[in-house]
Amino acid sequence: MSRISHAAGLVVVLAGTLAGAQARADRIQDSDDVADYDDRQGAHTTGLWARIAHPDRGRYEARLQEGYALYAGNHAAQAIAPLVEAVGYEPSEPDGHYWLARAYAGARDFPECAHEYDVLHDLAPDYTSPQSLGSRDRPGVMRYEYAFCLAAGDRVEDAISVYRGVLDDKDVPAAERRLAWSNVGDAYEILGRLDEAILAYRHAIELAPGDALSRFALAVAYDRDEEPARAEQELDGALRIDGGYSVLGQPTLLYVPAEDEDYFHALIFQLAPRLEHAPARVCQGGPWLCRGLAIAGYRRFVDRAGDAGLWTARAKQHLQELGQPELAVDDLIVLGSDAARRTVPKLVVGAGPKLQRCVERRGVVLHVDVNVIGTAVKPAFGIGTAGKPSKRPAVPPPPPPPAGDPVTVRVTSVGAEQPTADELKCAAAQTLLLGLAPEAQAMELQFALIAI
C-alpha cells in the first residue's frame, strides 16, 4: 500500500510538471529546438517512469556493474555472485545472462555457462552483443563461446549445431571460421566420428595452413583411425611449425575430455624419434626419455579415461608397441672415456629394477643426471650412447659439483605428473649406491626412470 500511495504522489507532481512544459512548448513551437526539447523531456520522463515501475532496476544495474568489473579484471569466479543477483532482479534482461554466461565460462563451469546462453537465446534469439558495458562482440564470437560451453558441458550434438550456424554466417571472419572448423572437428572426435573430424580439421588447415593446433589434432585423429603413416605426416608438419609444441600448453586451451592432453603428448613422444622435423630438444635426454614419456602419457590417459573410454583400447595398443619399460643399454647417455661408455651402462642396467622401484606412480618420469669428477676431463660434447657415437646434440652438462664431492646426482621430474619427495630421494640414493667413483676419468651419465 505504501508503495502505491507514494507512486500516486509522484504522478501528481509529474502532471504539474508536464502542464508547465506544455506552456513552454507553445512558446517555442516554431523553434528548431522543438524536437530536441521533446527528446530530452521524453528521456527524462521515461527514466523516471522506469524507476517508478521497476524499483529493482537500480539494484540490477549496480550488481551488473560490479560483476562486469570483476569479470573484466580477470576475476570470473568472483563475478558470478553479483551477476546471479543482477539476473534475479531483472530476469528478462539479456545483458545480465550474457555476462553471467561469460563469467561461468571464465570459471570453467561449462554446464552453467551453456544454461545461461540457453536462457539468453530464448529471451532474445537475435541477440549478438551486450547493449551495456564492454565492447561490442561480433556475432560469431558469442556463438562460438556458446558452442564451446555446450561441448565442454557434455552437450556435443548441440554444440555442433551452433558451430554450424557460425560457419553458415558469411559475415564471420576467416580466423573465427577456422576456429569453428577446428572445434567442430574436436566435437566429432568426442563422438567417435573420425571421418567427419578429419574433414573438419582439414577445412581449418585450408583456411590457415600455419595452424599448428589443427595439425596436431589431425595427427591424433589419423592415429585413432589407425592410419599411422598419415598421423606421422601431420605430426611432422605440426612440429615443423611449432617445434616446441607450445600451442598444446596454452592456458586458454581446454582439452575435452581432459585426458586427451596426455594422449596428444604421448603420441608426440612416441613418434618424435622417427620424424624428420622433430627438434632434438623433444628427446634431448635420449630415445629412452621419449619412450618413457610416451609410456607414462598413455598410462595416465588410460587411468583417467577408464576401460569405457572411447580411445582406451588404442592407447593400450600403443603401450604394447612401446614394449616393456625396463632399462636397456641403449637407453643411457654416457659422456666420458671409452672405458666408461663400455662398463657404466651395464652397471646401471643391472641395477635397473631397484632404480625403477623408486618410481611408484605410473605417470611419473624422472631424469637422472650423474656427474663424476676425474683428473682427465673430457669435452662436454663427446657424447656416446652404449659405446656408439650419437647424432643427437649434447645436453649441456649441469653446474659442476662442489669441490671434494666426487659424485653428484641430480634427479628432476620431466613428466606431467609430479613425483613425491620420497621418489626423488630414493632415485638419488639408489644411483649413489651404484658406486660410480672416479677412476682417473671425468664422466657424466644420464638416464630416465619410470615405474615398471
Q: Cell numbers of 11, please?
A: 504522478
Evaluate the CA torsion angle 131, 137, 140, 146 in order and state its sign: negative
Cα 336-342-346 angle, rounded to 5 deg: 115
Could you tell me the sign of the dihedral formed by the alpha carbons of 280, 285, 286, 291, in that order?
A: negative
CA distance 405 to 354: 24
Coil, strand or helix at 255: coil
- pLDDT tens for the chain, 452 residues long, are 332 222 322 232 223 333 333 333 343 344 444 344 344 444 444 555 555 556 678 899 999 999 999 999 999 999 999 999 999 999 999 999 999 999 999 999 999 999 999 999 999 988 877 766 665 555 567 888 899 999 999 999 999 999 998 899 888 888 889 999 999 999 999 999 999 999 999 999 999 999 999 999 999 999 999 999 999 999 999 999 998 899 999 888 889 899 999 999 999 999 998 888 887 777 766 677 888 999 999 999 999 999 999 999 999 999 999 988 888 887 788 888 888 888 888 888 898 899 999 998 888 999 898 888 754 333 332 233 333 333 334 444 445 544 456 788 899 888 888 899 999 999 999 988 888 765 546 788 888 898 88
In three-state secondary structure terms, 329 is helix
CA pair distance 372, 329, nearest whole angstrom: 19
Q: Which helix (H) or strand (E) holds 173?
A: none
Which pLDDT value is given to residue 383? 30
Q: Tell me, what's the pLDDT at 50?
A: 54
Q: What's 446's DSSP letter?
A: E
Question: With respect to CATH, is domain 59-129+137-319 assigned 1.25.40.10?
Answer: yes
- pTM of the complete model beyond 0.95: no
Could you report the per-residue pLDDT of 298-316, keeping only the tens digit for each?
999 999 999 999 999 999 9
pLDDT of 435: 80
d(CA 317, CA 440): 47
Provide the pLDDT for residue 441.
Answer: 64
Question: Using CA atoms, how far apart are residues 218 and 214, in angstroms rounded to an integer?
Answer: 6
Give the residues across from 450 on adjacent strands. Answer: 365
Residue 198 phi/psi, 5-degree rounding, is -60, -45
**Residues 420/392, Cβ–Cβ less than 8 Å:** no
Q: How far apart are CA 279 and CA 235, in angstroms?
A: 12
Q: Rounded to whole angstroms, what are the CA distances from 406 to 332, 336, 399?
A: 21, 15, 14
CA distance 270 to 352: 22
Classify burial at 103, counting beta carbons within 10 Å of its beta carbon; exposed 0-12, middle 13-18, buried 19 or more: buried
Short-list 107, 117, 183, 111, CA closest to 146:
117
| Cα end-to-end span (Å), the chain | 78
User: Domain segments of the chain: what residues?
Assistant: 59-129+137-319, 327-450
- Residue 122 three-state SS: helix
pLDDT at 133: 65
Query: Side chain identity at 408, as an amino acid letter?
Result: T
Under 8 Å between Cβ of 414 and 285: yes
What is the Cα–Cα distance from 451 to 417, expressed in whole angstroms?
A: 12
pLDDT of residue 161: 95
Cβ proximity of 278 and 392 under 8 Å: no
